[in-house]
Structures are given as C-alpha cells and as structure tokens.
Structure 1
Amino acid sequence: MRIGVIGTGNIGGTLGRALARAGHEVKLGSRHPGETSDGPEVSDLSGALADADAVLLALPAGGLEDFLAEHSEELGGKLVIDATNRIGAPVANAAAQLATAAPTARYARAFNTLGWENFAEPVFDGVPADLFFSCRQADRAVVEELIIGVGLQPAYLGEDKQDLVDSLLPLWFALVQANGGNRHVALRVLRK
C-alpha cells in the first residue's frame, strides 16, 4: 500500500518507519522537505499525498487548519487516518474539519491514544498492545492491516466512534502519570 504520512516528528516518523518495515511504500510529508530520515523518503506535503492510497495525519494540531486549507483537494476520495490530538479544543479529533475541507475523504481515527514509544516497541511481555480505532466498516480491513503492520493488535470500536476512541486519551495520560511518567504503557483487551 502507498501511504503518505503527514508529519515527521515522533509519531509520524516512528509510524512511517514501522509501516515501511511492514512492506508498505511510505513517503513522509514535511514543510521542510530537505530533512533527512533514517527511514522513508521525506518529501514536501504534496509529494507525500500524490498517489497515496492512505494518508496518516500525524502533524501538530496547530498546523492542521493550514494543512487542510492548502491540501483539501489532494485528500479527496482518500482514506485519511487521523492521529492528531487537538489538546485543549472541545473535540480532540479532526473529523469535522476534514469533512468540511474534503467531504469525499474517508475518515478513520487511530494512532492517537498511545505515545510514540508504543509504536516503536508495541509488544509487552510477548503480547502486542491493543490499538483502539474507528472507521467505516468498508475501510476496517485496511486500517487493521496498518495497525498490525506497526505491531499492534487492532481493537475496532465501530463506525463514527471517534469520540469514544478519544475518551481513551485521558485514560492513557492518567496511566502515564500513575507510572511515574513512563510513557511506554498501553491497554490490552483480554479475550476468551
């Protein structure tokens, strides 16, 4: 799969490297395309979006509005996986902003409730952590493939459940604080 990762920081860079190791063709999109990477190619934002089957938004929330204004047409019809967290805003996800800017884009909410440390090392005592996500049923298999490619276990919450996914974010922060600031903590659903 061709994946455009928008953002080269801890989240975008770590996910981009993991997805490339899983065999996907990954381009990291940056406002500073001269950056070097120890993984996938770094291009400008349009270069990362061109020909992408899926787009992973991993940019700081402050850059989201400008990104959507400049690249809304390039997102049309694509699966857009929202890993941004608009901390302090009434809603953490960018579902409404994406729907307004690119109404034909297909929205998924994933990769936003764990720290990048869990994407770099997703296995705890031989068991992968769960990653909770929401998307249209028609896109579920694709999103699950990407989650598995990172080394995590997909935990599907249903369609239009981005707010439910977001509700796990304060829980993760509380677990980090309860563990003395250790960000390498995650959740696991036990199944029988």
Structure 2
Amino acid sequence: MRIGILGTGNVGQALAAAWLRAGHDVVLGSRRPGDEELLTGLKELLQAGLQVDDPAGAAAHAEVLVNATPGTASVALLASIGAPALAGKVLLDVAVGFLEDESLSHQVVSLGEEIQRAFPDTRVVKSLCTIDRAVMVAPESLEGPSTVFLSGEDAEAKRIVGGLLADLGWPADALLDLGGIATARGQEHFALLFIGIALSTGTFKFNIRFVPPAAGAEAS
C-alpha cells in the first residue's frame, strides 16, 4: 500500500520504519525535503526504501495519509495541501495537541473531529494516540495483550487502518472500535492520564487493556 506520513519526528520515523519492513511504499512528507541534516538523519530509512517529499507530494502519493504532526499545527498543514488533494483519502490521525503550559489544545472538540469537519470528503480515522511510539510499532514488547482504539465515521476506512495496525503487530482482538469521530475526544484526553502514569512509573513504554466482565457475572 502507498502510505504518506506527514511529520518527520520520532513518531513519523517509527511508523515509516515499521511499514517499510512490512513491505509498504512509504513517503515521508516534510516542509524541508531537501534539507541535508534531515536526510542524514534518515539515512537508514532511505536505504530501506523510504522516499522524502514535501507534504503535498506525500499526500499525492498516498492511499493512506498519516498525520503525525504536532496537533496544534495539523489543520493548517493539511489546509496548505488543500481539500481537493485530500478528498476520498483515508487519513489516519495519530496526533495530540499540547499548548506551552502542557494543557491540551483541543479541550472540547478533538483534533480528529476538527480535521474531519475541515475536510468532510476525507475519511478520518483516529488511532494510536494513546500509546508511545515504541509501543505503536512493537505491541509484543509488553508483558501481555493490550488495547488500541479506533474512532471514525467510515467503516471501510477503519478496516483499512486495522490492516495497517496488523502490520505493526496488533492482533485483531486488540482493536476496539469506539464508534464515530466524536469518540476521538476520549482518545486524545487520555494523553493527560498517560503522562501521569508515565511520570509515576518512570516509563512511557506501557499500554492499557479493556478487560470485559467475567463470563456469567451479573450486570450491575
């Protein structure tokens, strides 16, 4: 599959490396695609087949476009690409926006919802924003099974994203479809609890798991 990733930071690079290993055709979108320092830092990924282009080029390449940019800048960057170029595409949004005081930039309406409203013809799916980049691409590194969430309006888009999650190592029973894009609010707000857990335990490499009631347990 042709994947375009917007954002050249740690998350974008981790996802690019994992999907390259799975055999996908990956283009990383950067505002400075010819920057020598950037290309030097991406040397191993380039040798593995990664391509680097500007954001519009990454979007044009993509069957699935991944937003791994800072959440406070995501909508503006997507607007610079333009709604017509994004129409019909699956957009996997993994971003969360933080302000300088470390509060969330999207406290009422989630970034996922804002993107979907700004680009109604784009099929937005929110996922992977509840975990660290290391766990995103290696769920088997945890002691046991855990859960990754999906939010979005388009069932086929969520199926496609589910396939890409499988290529990262997530089994089908780890995926929990929360429903429409409004449920992305819960995913993004989990970032505050995530930080609290990380600071308390001294590690960002963890996840949570949905644990259903025991068989035969009476409903409350």
Same-fold status (TM-score > 0.5): yes
Larger Rg: 2
TM-score, normalised to structure 1, is: 0.88
Matching residue within 134, 141, 164 for 1:146: 164
The one-letter code sitting in structure 2 at the alignment partner of 1:107 is V
Aligned mate of 2:180, from 141, 159, 163: 159
The counterpart of 1:62, out of the listed 72, 79, 82, is: 72
Change (3 A) 1:66 1:167: closer
| Distance change in 2, residues 1:142/1:117 (3 Å) | same
TM, length-normalised to structure 2: 0.77
Deviation string for 1:45-77 (max 9, x for gaps)?
Answer: 111111311110001123223312211232111
Measure the CA separation in 2 of the matches of 1:168 and 1:119: 15
Deviates more, 1:65-74 or 1:88-97: 88-97
Which residue in the other structure is 1:171 paired with? 193
Note the C-alpha offset of 1:99: 3.1
- My pick for the range that moved more, 167-176 or 11-20, is 167-176
Q: For residues 54 and 8 of structure 2, what CA distance do their matches in structure 1 show? A: 11
Given that residues 148 and 154 in structure 1 are in contact (C-alpha distance below 8 angstroms), is that contact kept between their aligned partners in structure 2? no
1:101 to 96, 111, 118: 118
Work out the CA distance in 2 between the residues paired with 1:66 and 1:139.
Answer: 23
In 2, the alpha carbon distance for the partners of 1:61 and 1:168 equals 15
Question: How far apart in 1 are the matches of 2:142 and 2:149?
Answer: 20
SS at match of 1:50: helix
CA 1:101 to 1:189, structure 2 compared with 1: closer, same or farther past 3 Å? Answer: closer
Q: Quick one: percent identity of the two aligned structures?
A: 28
Check conservation: 2:64, 2:91, Cα contact below 8 A: yes
Unaligned runs of 5+ in 2: 99-103, 215-220
Q: CA deviation at 1:127?
A: 4.1
Please list the CA deviations of residues 107-129 of structure 1 after superposition, one character each: whole Å capped at 9, or x if unmatched: 11012111112124321356454
Q: Which residue of 1 is the match for residue 218 of structure 2?
A: none
Whether the 8 Å CA contact 1:49–1:74 is kept in 2: the answer is: yes
The one of 123, 134, 154 equivalent to 2:140 is 123
Residue 188 (str. 1) matches residue 209 (str. 2): yes
Q: Give the CA RMSD over aligned residues.
A: 2.1
